[in-house]
Amino acid sequence: MSLWMQRTALFLLTLAAPHLVPNDYWIGVLTRICLYTTLALGLNVVVGFAGLLDLGYVAFYGIGSYIYAFLASPHFALHLSFWVALPLTVAIAAVSGILLGAPTLRLRGDYLAIVTLGFGEIVYLLLINGDRPVNITNGVNGILGIDPPRLGSLTFSRNHEYYYLFLAFLLLALLISTRLAHSRIGWAWQAIREDEVAARVMGINTTKAKLQAFAVGASFAGIGGGLLASWQRSVFPDNFLFYESINILAMVILGGVGNLAGVVVGATLLVALPEIFRGFHRYRMLAYGLMLIVLMIFRPRGLFEGNRVGRREPETSTLEEETLSLVEPGPPVGQ
């Protein structure tokens, strides 16, 4: 089957998916898959493309959700349309990405991880305590009554409507990620990930490139946050616990860091598996954890070969092969 046919088949499958699952609950699971894949694609830009280990990604997700909630709920009596509020949310999330990224520019690896982890906790604490002295976040009670998205005469309310909305944004995130991976800035990120000093010597502005990675990652989280708020119709600080950062990071790692197809599969599995394991009742998380361990033993670089964004010298590979390496494992990495 040609790549084009594979893609078309896959796309038709995602369109038909809500009609193929047994009930509305599963349509909700599919919607969550779209949401988490979008988030994971954003984290993948930071961790996968640029090699910056960010353990506080949930902060941007939380900021996105709350900004959307502020802009489209009775809380501040602002009722902006979804199509105005979401772009604003994304812009603010991107700025927050730059603001939180800037102090970490000199840090690498473990140290960056520790600081970003701290950021995640700070944002969570701000959300919880943001009701005093001036009530901004409404503390632990969260923000309720968030407006649903509207499109023409349709007001989104049912899961399958949200599913298609989320799918559209997921495809947008996927498109942007693919373009970025093959762009000039994608090359710069990859060089920074491999060797920051050498990247600088090549004339890459590493400060700018790293901030761009944080900004793009945070904007994807902003999309995810806005979508969550508009779907859940309410947001609470507990939606943005440290656990979520790790969950999203696991999706990126499971599939293969930096590999877009891997990220999609990783996010799909990590949302779907706990649901599939529901039959195990209280052993559910045990089965899930066991599966993760087994996977990492047998595929330590992820389900799909990680850390390659699939570029070959043009004369030795056709364009089709080049894009194919996005969905197939890259060449083995010999040491």
Partner 1 sequence: MLKLSGVVTSYGSLPVLKGVSLEVKGGEIVCLLGGNASGKSTTMKTILGTVPPRKGTIEFDGQRIDGLPTAEIVRRGISLVPEGRRIFARMTVWENLVMGAFTRREAPADELTEDLERIYGLFPRLRERRDQLGGTLSGGEQQMLAIGRALMSRPRLLLMDEPSMGLAPALVDLVFDIIREINSRGMTILVVEQNASVALSMAHRGYVLKNGRIVMHDRASALLEAEGVRRAYLGEA
Contacts 24+ apart (CB under 8 A), 2-6: 2/320, 3/320, 3/323, 3/324, 3/327, 6/327
Smallest separation, CB 334 to partner 1 (Å)? 5
Query: Would you say the C-alpha torsion 254, 258, 262, 266 has a positive or negative sign?
Result: positive
Phi first, then psi: give them for residue 326, nearest 5 degrees.
-75, -30
Looking at residue 147, its amino acid is D
2 binds partner 1 (CB under 8 A): no
Pick one of 83, 168, 195, 294: the residue that binds partner 1 (CB under 8 A): 195
Among 22, 133, 152, 203, binds partner 1 (CB under 8 A): 203
| 3 state SS of 133 | coil
Quick check: 140 binds partner 1 (CB under 8 A)?
no
Least distance to partner 1, CB of residue 194, Å: 4
Residue from 250, 312, 322, 323 touching partner 1 (CB under 8 A): that is 312
Q: Which of these ranges, 9-17, 76-84, 197-205, 292-300, lies near partner 1 under the rule CB under 8 A?
A: 197-205
By CB under 8 A, is residue 204 in contact with partner 1? yes
CB of 147 to partner 1, least distance (A): 44
- Which phi and psi angles does 154 have, rounded to 5°? -90, 125
According to the binding rule CB under 8 A, does residue 191 interact with partner 1? yes
Q: Which residues contact 183 (CB under 8 A, 6 or more apart)?
A: none
Q: Which is nearer to partner 1, 24 or 195 (CB)?
A: 195
User: Does 328 sit near partner 1 (CB under 8 A)?
Assistant: no
CB 237 within 8 A of CB 137: yes
Under rule CB under 8 A, which residues in 151-190 are in contact with partner 1?
184, 187-188, 190
Using CB under 8 A, pick the residue from 77, 134, 197, 293 that binds partner 1.
197
Residue 78: φ, ψ to 5°: -105, 130
The distance of closest approach from Cβ of residue 185 to partner 1 in the complex, given in angstroms and rounded to an integer, is 11
In the list 24, 194, 238, 321, the residue contacting partner 1 (rule: CB under 8 A) is 194
Q: Are 212 and 95 in contact (CB under 8 A)?
A: no
How many whole angstroms separate alpha carbon 260 and alpha carbon 324? 11
Query: What is the 8-class DSSP label of residue 150?
Result: E
By CB under 8 A, name the binding residues for partner 1. Answer: 184, 187-188, 190-191, 194-195, 197-198, 200-205, 307-308, 311-313, 316, 331, 333-335
